[in-house]
Structure 1
Amino acid sequence: MSTLTPPFAPGAVRVGDWDFGDFPYGLEPLVMPPAGHAGASAEHRSVTLPPCEPERICLELRALTGSRPGIAHLGVPSAPSYDQLFWFRWITGHQVTFALWRLMGRILEELSPRDPVPGPAAMERLESYTHCYCAMLLYSGSCPRALYQSLIRPAMFLQHRGFSGLWAPDFTQVRGLMRGRPVPWLRDGRATGLRAAVHSQREVHDSVAARLVPGGRSLLQQSVTENPVRPSERTAVLYDNFFMTLRGPVPDEAVAGQLLRRLRAVGLDLAVNGLYPLGRDEDGEGAEGWNGSVARCERRLGTVLANAAAHAAGPARQAPQTV
């Protein structure tokens, strides 16, 4: 693997070439523990995970922070087609989100009944992961509306005409926090930063949805009158299958390692291509959303990825090679 030193951090760290998937902008299956309606396969087979170097990845992501698009010297070529680039972003961005939800869910599970408010370190991790979730909403939904309507939405429709993010098995672990209702400690003064991050997540989600489907309805909303489908073991399998997610007895250390590899791939992609390589549809967007939480998230994208990686690096150092 050849390495080159980026000019925005001379001599600080050498950023390597693409090493995710079998080729640039290729995909990797994600291996996750059971969650929600998704159970472990009764015939689970061991999967050997690609190697992960937590310290190296963290240094590289720090070096990429603030970089400008089009850094060809990184050794990462442009995607052979925009269809492949944005398909990679849709699948990999969702996989990053699943891993973030899992790590956040573990923190929430470990809260003490006596003092359910997370301590400073746990609160900082939750806030960082929530901001990274915001970044993945932008990253996954960075394609032009026309491409989303011609490539991504039809693929989900073919999987199931009522395909919905409500089926995501890993979201059950953080549903209360993201919705902000059953978590009374979120109103605590110690949770100010996290509360702001959760609020930003809602604004970013709504803004991206409005941009990709302006004035429209989701696949679930379109199909609910003729064929209502509630989340179940079957929908969990359909959802996991679409996003190349396997289930088995996977420790959180392995989840963190897989998260780091994906954050590195996302960081390299953004350094070469930028967030909106084909521009961003402007019509029909709410100025308040795009000038507020979305704009702040766009400006801090590199820093958000690097911060999330730093928090995931600790557990990833103990990640097993086979799960």
Structure 2
Amino acid sequence: MSILTPHRTPAAAIRVDGWDFGDFPYGLEPLAMPPAGRAQAGTEHRPVTLPSCDPDRIARELRALTGSGPGAAALVDAAPASSYDQLFWFRWIVGHQVTFALWRLMGRVLEEVGERGPDAVPGPGAMARLECYAHGYSAMLLYSGSCPTALYQRLIRPAMFLQHRGFSGTWAPDFHQVRSLLRGRPLPWTDDPRAAGVVAALGAQRAVHDSVAARLVPGGRSLLQQSINEAPVKPSERTAVLYDNFFMTLRGPVPDEAVAAQLVRRLRAVGLDLAVNGLYPLGRDDDGEEAEVWNGSLARSERRVGVVLAEAAGFAADLARRAPAAV
């Protein structure tokens, strides 16, 4: 069954054209991002030509998929992946790339608010974007972590281990812009009643993160925790390069408009994948801990994945229309 949640049925459902991401279905593309955290731009940056993108068309396609509910697959001209290894590797890499772009756009909102003064409160539009992007992060945690635990332990975790024994999400360069917000540290405006939707979205995101981590890594010991006594490594410019290399991320003078365009393209690929394969094509293994691990808030996040994709694409499209052809 498709996870795309019924939202509204379009008056005339549009046909969603076939796969146009990567060189083949479930193929990958590099992500071009601006310097962030400890990640620096390459000293000999070469412009990267961005694939063409019609953000408004993509936003309409995602709304059509969302509105069609269980019939979403009938609107899509896309084939299933050739293997589950390929499918879930695609989800792991692209889900993280989407997350990096969401973090950057969240950081942009926080920068705009901060420029108005230390006590400034985001306006309604800024609050709406932050709330949507926080839900988008939750959706990508579910999407990236949708593989069975056994496949994660066989395919994905060993690949990260080969990159570095202490490979860690704490090395993610783009996280520094939103660290305080995502970790629940109070900001000047988070106690404002107008921020209730953002705070609720952030709380749901932390619940999703903890539950996905608990399912994929029974016992809760990350690669960093396992290697801490053997080779303790602190985040540095070197670890940022290792992290970016694993997730096919390039650094250069990339404007936010280009980040948004790349985000919209990836949201389309994710939407096509989910319409064809569903969120859990091999089932969701939770070791019988349904009530404890997959509680009500997580179930709501699962049901809203399709809606969130469409909403995030709509917000990002406003920026993506102004993206340059090369960065």
Q: Normalising to structure 1: TM-score of the pair?
A: 0.95
Q: 2:246 aligns with which of 239, 242, 245?
A: 242
Q: What is the CA deviation profile of residues 98-137 of structure 1, one whole-angstrom value per residue up to 9, with x for unaligned ones? A: 0000000011011111542111100100000000000000
Q: 1:231 aligns with which of 231, 235, 251?
A: 235
Residues 1:178 and 1:216: Cα distance change in structure 2 (over 3 Å): closer
The equivalent of 1:279 in structure 2 is 283
CA-CA distance at 1:73 after TM superposition: 5.8
Residues in 1 aligned to 2:293 and 2:130: alpha-carbon distance in whole angstroms: 23
The equivalent of 1:107 in structure 2 is 109
The equivalent of 2:193 in structure 1 is 189
Q: Which moved more, 1:199-208 or 1:73-82?
A: 73-82
The equivalent of 1:61 in structure 2 is 62
Residues in 2 aligned to 1:70 and 1:216: alpha-carbon distance in whole angstroms: 36
Are 1:256 and 1:316, in contact at CA under 8 Å, matched by a contact in 2? yes
CA-CA distance at 1:180 after TM superposition: 1.6
Are 2:21 and 2:265, in contact at CA under 8 Å, matched by a contact in 1? yes
The equivalent of 1:89 in structure 2 is 91
Residues in 1 aligned to 2:181 and 2:230: alpha-carbon distance in whole angstroms: 32
- The DSSP-based 3-state class of the residue aligned with 2:135 is helix
Q: 1:198 aligns with which of 181, 198, 202?
A: 202
Residues in 1 aligned to 2:319 and 2:166: alpha-carbon distance in whole angstroms: 37
The amino acid that maps onto 1:279 is G
Is 1:79 equivalent to 2:81 in the alignment? yes
Q: What is the CA deviation profile of residues 161-212 of structure 1, one whole-angstrom value per residue up to 9, with x for unaligned ones? A: 0000000000000001001214232121110000000000100000000111
Is 1:46 equivalent to 2:47 in the alignment? yes
Q: What is the CA deviation profile of residues 12-40 of structure 1, one whole-angstrom value per residue up to 9, with x for unaligned ones? A: 32211110000000000000000000010
Q: Normalising to structure 2: TM-score of the pair?
A: 0.94
- The DSSP-based 3-state class of the residue aligned with 2:176 is helix
Matches within 5 A, 1:299-314: 299-314=303-318
Residues in 1 aligned to 2:314 and 2:11: alpha-carbon distance in whole angstroms: 21
CA-CA distance at 1:10 after TM superposition: 6.6
Q: Which moved more, 1:88-97 or 1:292-301?
A: 292-301
Q: What is the CA deviation profile of residues 249-302 of structure 1, one whole-angstrom value per residue up to 9, with x for unaligned ones? A: 000000000000000000000000000000011216462441222100111111
Are 2:96 and 2:144, in contact at CA under 8 Å, matched by a contact in 1? yes
Matches within 5 A, 1:102-181: 102-111=104-113, 112-113=116-117, 115-181=119-185
The unaligned stretches of length 5 or more in structure 2 are 1-8
The amino acid that maps onto 2:300 is R
Residues 1:278 and 1:179: Cα distance change in structure 2 (over 3 Å): same
Residues in 2 aligned to 1:9 and 1:208: alpha-carbon distance in whole angstroms: 33
When the two chains are superposed, the root-mean-square deviation of aligned CA atoms in Å is 1.4
The amino acid that maps onto 1:259 is L
Is 1:319 equivalent to 2:320 in the alignment? no
- Deviation beyond 3 Å, 4+ runs, structure 1: none
Residues 1:73 and 1:313: Cα distance change in structure 2 (over 3 Å): closer
Are 1:214 and 1:284, in contact at CA under 8 Å, matched by a contact in 2? no
Residues in 2 aligned to 1:90 and 1:184: alpha-carbon distance in whole angstroms: 34
Residues 1:268 and 1:61: Cα distance change in structure 2 (over 3 Å): same
The amino acid that maps onto 1:80 is S
- The DSSP-based 3-state class of the residue aligned with 1:186 is coil
Residues in 2 aligned to 1:69 and 1:222: alpha-carbon distance in whole angstroms: 44
How many residue pairs are counted as aligned between the two chains?
316
Are 2:65 and 2:72, in contact at CA under 8 Å, matched by a contact in 1? no
Q: What is the CA deviation profile of residues 73-93 of structure 1, one whole-angstrom value per residue up to 9, with x for unaligned ones? A: 622111000000000000000
Are 2:15 and 2:75, in contact at CA under 8 Å, matched by a contact in 1? no
Q: Which moved more, 1:283-292 or 1:105-114?
A: 283-292
Residues in 1 aligned to 2:70 and 2:52: alpha-carbon distance in whole angstroms: 28
Is 1:296 equivalent to 2:300 in the alignment? yes
The equivalent of 1:4 in structure 2 is none
- The DSSP-based 3-state class of the residue aligned with 2:250 is strand
Are 2:48 and 2:326, in contact at CA under 8 Å, matched by a contact in 1? yes
CA-CA distance at 1:313 after TM superposition: 0.5
- The DSSP-based 3-state class of the residue aligned with 1:184 is coil
Residues in 1 aligned to 2:290 and 2:192: alpha-carbon distance in whole angstroms: 31
Residues in 2 aligned to 1:290 and 1:188: alpha-carbon distance in whole angstroms: 30
The equivalent of 1:32 in structure 2 is 33
